[in-house]
Chains A and B, each alone.
Chain A
Amino acid sequence: MLFDLQVFDSDEWVVVAPVGELDLSSIPQVRQRIVQLVADGEQRVVLDLAGVDFVDSAGIGLVVMVAKRLAAHGGELRIAGPTQGVWSVFELVGLDRLWPAHESVADAIAGRTATTMVPDAERAPQ
């Protein structure tokens, strides 16, 4: 299964964008990169989930770890672009109440909270 991790700067934020499935096989790569970013002094991170088509509790655990680590360094995590399918897992465990989803990276940086979620092409309407 292909997995890719893109990291780039945008304004005063660093954007971390995993592409693929976020599970036990891919999270060590993301964790290692973010731990390094925080060690290098980055404090404001946008986790762009637009390219993530699957997440389970291991992926959720990664997000929690990142948020804790950033908070411990006076930083902040914002989540951008999750599909409805991915965001539903966050909702199931109640983490949507701790971190609102932003529709895009630009919205996350601007602090604009999504009012509607990105449609999930993989999920057929009931």
Chain B
Amino acid sequence: MSEVVLEIPARPEYLALVRQVVAAAAAVEPTFRDERIEDLRIAVSEAATNAIEAHADLESEERIVLRCNLGDDRIEVEVTDRGGGFERASADSEDGAMPDPDAPGRLERERGLGLPLMRHLADEHDITSLDGGTAVRLVVYTPWHGRYG
């Protein structure tokens, strides 16, 4: 795998850079369709936004690390923060399911859409609680995935 690592201050103004790096890393593999790269850009933006907000909650000065690994059939992106662990991530949405837009009180949920979007847009995602932080791994497969397996 070819790895690209980006380390950023935990500030919102670096989100655009995160998205640019992820899109550029994915575009190295020419079989990725533009809409899948866009899916990945949004999913990674969600993970990085959660990380930045977690750092802000703790007033942490530590940095957020983004690792992009481009494989033959996939791109994996891991966003690692030092923002306090899994509890706040899981509190974002109880099960990561997309909320019903017609449910009573739907508009009370102006937050909490990040995890459902990540789940929907990435082919795989998992969230790992670290010691004092969280790692979110997002995977998008190329159209070639599994074709010769």
Contact = CB atoms under 8 A, between A and B. Distances in A.
Interface of A: 1, 21, 23-25, 54, 56-58, 60-62, 64-65, 67-68, 85, 89, 92-95, 97-98, 122-124, 126
B12 A92 contact: no
A123 B19 contact: no
A56 to B, nearest CB: 5
Given A24-B49, A98-B101, A123-B35, A92 B120 contact: yes
B111 interface: yes
Contacts of A65: 110
B49 A56 contact: yes
B46 A56 contact: yes
Contacts, number: 83
Contacts of B6: none
5 contacts: A57-B117, A67-B107, A68-B107, A93-B98, A98-B106
Interface SS of chain B: helix, strand, loop or mixed?
Answer: helix
B74 interface: no
A24 B99 contact: no
A90 B1 CA distance: 34
Contacts of B12: 23-25
B113 interface: yes
Contacts of B107: 64, 67-68, 98
A21 B35 contact: no
B52 A24 contact: yes
Nearest to B121: A92
